[in-house]
């Protein structure tokens, strides 16, 4: 198997089972996925890495029928409230992309998949969520 890299740096694929990690403000407890200069909630500048749960509930979704070139449609984009804290946006997979199957509040779990391979053979690993049961 060639080299693998996470699609974004808040997806951790080289420390046990794949999971998401956020920057948690030491002062306010606010969670962030991006590189930080300071905490936009409390103003502090100290952060620690926090491992997030791989399970959660769908707080919102949309079914995209017209998207950007190269991305097959329809697909489901969802906001997921992770158990224990943190909200993330990702695709919802392994379910028919229609409102009869995708429900607000449904329990989901994280999964990973290869999103592409570059010219050096490096594979980008992305994450998505799928129904928990």
Partner 1 sequence: MSGDNGDNVWILGAYMTKFGRHTDKDLIDLASESALGAMKDADVTIHDMEVLGCGSLFNAQAGVGQQLQKQIGQTGIPVYNVANACATGATALRTVLLTIKAGEADMGLAVGVEQMGKGGLLGAGGKGDRGRKVYEPSGRYGSVMQVEGVLGTGLMPGVFAQAGMEYAYEHGGVDFEQFAKVAEKNHAHSTLNPLAHYQKQFTLDEVMTAEMMSYPNTLLMCCPNTDGSAAVVLVSEEKLRTLSRDQQKRAVKISASALTTDPWTEHAQVQPDVNTLTRNAAKQAYETAGVSPQDLDLVELHDCFATAELIHYDNLMLCPPGDAGKFIDERGPWRDGQTPVNVSGGLISKGHPIGATGIANVFEVTTHLRGEAGDRQIEGAKVGLTHVIGLGSACAVHILEKAAV
Q: Could you list the residues that contact partner 1 (CB under 8 A)?
A: 5-10, 30-35, 40-41, 58-68, 70-71, 74-75, 77-79, 81, 87-91, 99, 104-105, 115-116, 118-120, 122, 124, 126-127
CB of 9 vs partner 1, minimal distance in Å:
3
CB of 6 vs partner 1, minimal distance in Å:
8
Q: Which of 50, 51, 52, 74 is nearest to 63 (CA)?
A: 74
Q: Which is nearer to partner 1, 30 or 53 (CB)?
A: 30
Q: Which is nearer to partner 1, 64 or 107 (CB)?
A: 64
CB of 27 vs partner 1, minimal distance in Å:
12
Q: Which is nearer to partner 1, 48 or 66 (CB)?
A: 66
Token pair 């969802």 is found at 78
Q: Are 4 and 12 in contact (CB under 8 A)?
A: no
CB of 17 vs partner 1, minimal distance in Å:
19
Q: Which is nearer to partner 1, 99 or 132 (CB)?
A: 99
CB of 121 vs partner 1, minimal distance in Å:
10
Secondary structure, 3-state, the chain: CCCEEECCCCEECCCCCCEEEEEEECCCCCEECCCCCCCCCCCCCCEEEEECCCEEEEEEEEEECCCCCCCCCCEEEEEEEECCCCEEEEEECCCCCCCCCCCCCCEEEEEEEEEEECCCCCEEEEEEEEECC
Q: Which is nearer to partner 1, 16 or 100 (CB)?
A: 100
């Amino acid at each position: 198997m060639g080299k693998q890299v996470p699609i974004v740096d808040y997806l951790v694929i080289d420390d046990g089972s794949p999971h998401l990690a956020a920057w948690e403000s030491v002062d306010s407890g606010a969670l962030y996925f991006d590189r930080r200069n300071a905490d936009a909630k409390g103003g502090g500048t100290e952060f620690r890495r926090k491992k997030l749960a791989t399970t959660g509930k769908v707080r919102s979704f949309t079914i995209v029928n017209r998207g950007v070139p190269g991305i097959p449609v329809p697909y489901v984009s969802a906001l997921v409230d992770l158990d224990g804290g943190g909200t993330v946006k990702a695709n919802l997979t392994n379910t028919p992309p229609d409102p009869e199957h995708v429900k607000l509040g449904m329990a989901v779990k994280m999964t990973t998949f290869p999103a592409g391979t570059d010219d050096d053979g490096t594979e980008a690993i992305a994450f998505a969520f799928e129904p928990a049961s």
